Amino acid sequence: MILISEEKLKLNREYIGKQYNSGPLLVDEDSIRRYALATNEKNSLYTDKGRSAELIAPPIYPVVFIPMLLEQLVEEGEAMGLDILRVVHAEQEMSWKSVIRPGDEIHSSAKIVAMKKLGVHELLELEILCMRQDELVVEMQYRLMLRGKKVSEMKRETATAPEKGKKIAEQTVFVTEDQGVRYAEASGDHNPIHTSDEVARLAGLPRSILQGLCTMAIASQAIVDELLQGDPSRLKAMKVRFSKPVFMAQELTTDVYEAESNEKEKHFVHFETWDSKGVVVLTRGIAEFV
């Protein structure tokens, strides 16, 4: 049985401009450590109980604020034309103004800024802001694609990828069989296509798939660990496209390449992530750091 039908999709454009708010959420040491461990982090800045005074959150950690916002959006899903089982995470863009530490109180907002037709699919774009009092800490562009056909019938990505320079870093991380469950508990992303093979098959997938933001967190480690000497405060922006599903119990390898830049104080790199079968699961990756 497959729940995804062939009917044409149309998101309700009246929702463009709608904003959702949540918080404040108090960041604590345990939530930072849980998120770091759920993404297989080895950086002691996120996990070492002996350095609590220096503890900071991993770069992708602010996505823990997203589920509370998405819950409000999903509540309006029927009126909006949003079927959650047909939704996949298409792209994610993040820029960091400051690191997050234990004790921070974070207010978050999500605004629907665009709805676009992409062939038989629909794209929903959210702008997400995370604030510490009046200070902007993290800004995100969160793009969801509402699939118009079964996964097996979706066309492959054909757009030209950015030209890559010399490879300067590589890192491989093993995705465990329970990675989706561990990440769901740490991040709050409990979409059952990530934790249940049965539900994933109902959504047209062969089995459960890893959360895209967990894959992005794994990719960020290659940049922070290999290029930034383990200092996440130097990472200023990342952008990725989630090109293929990631399945559990396999290796993911992130390759990082030089990128041309006219900026004197900013540095840019391209990156992409491959699964064990050589399938590119993250494409068009670009990171900015100082």
Confidence (pLDDT) at 46: 95
Q: What tens-digit pLDDT sequence spans the chain (290 residues)? A: 333 444 567 899 999 999 999 989 999 999 999 999 999 999 999 998 766 668 999 999 999 999 999 999 999 999 999 987 788 899 999 999 999 999 999 999 999 999 999 888 999 999 999 999 999 999 999 999 998 764 444 444 444 556 778 999 999 999 999 999 999 999 999 989 999 999 999 888 899 999 999 999 999 999 999 999 999 999 999 999 999 999 999 999 999 999 977 777 789 999 999 999 999 999 999 999 99
The type of residue at 290 is V
What gap in Å lies between CA 35 and CA 211, rounded to an integer?
Answer: 13
Confidence (pLDDT) at 7: 55
pTM of the model: 0.90
Report the candidate in 30, 135, 29, 7 with the shortest Cα–Cα distance to residue 81.
Answer: 7
Helix (H, G, I), strand (E, B) or coil at 24: strand
The total number of residues shown for the chain amounts to 290
CA-to-CA dists, residue 49 to 41, 52, 118, 246, angstroms: 14, 5, 47, 31
The type of residue at 133 is Q
What gap in Å lies between CA 48 and CA 51, rounded to an integer?
Answer: 6
Confidence (pLDDT) at 120: 87
Task: List, in order of start, the domains of the chain with CATH numbers.
Answer: 13-289 (3.10.129.10)
Q: Side by side, which strands form the sheet with 135-146?
A: 19-26, 105-118, 121-132, 135-146, 87-96, 235-242, 280-289, 267-274, 250-258, 167-175
Report the candidate in 260, 221, 263, 261 with the shortest Cα–Cα distance to residue 238.
Answer: 221
What gap in Å lies between CA 161 and CA 155, rounded to an integer?
Answer: 16
Confidence (pLDDT) at 189: 93
What gap in Å lies between CA 109 and CA 72, rounded to an integer?
Answer: 11
What gap in Å lies between CA 134 and CA 219, rounded to an integer?
Answer: 30
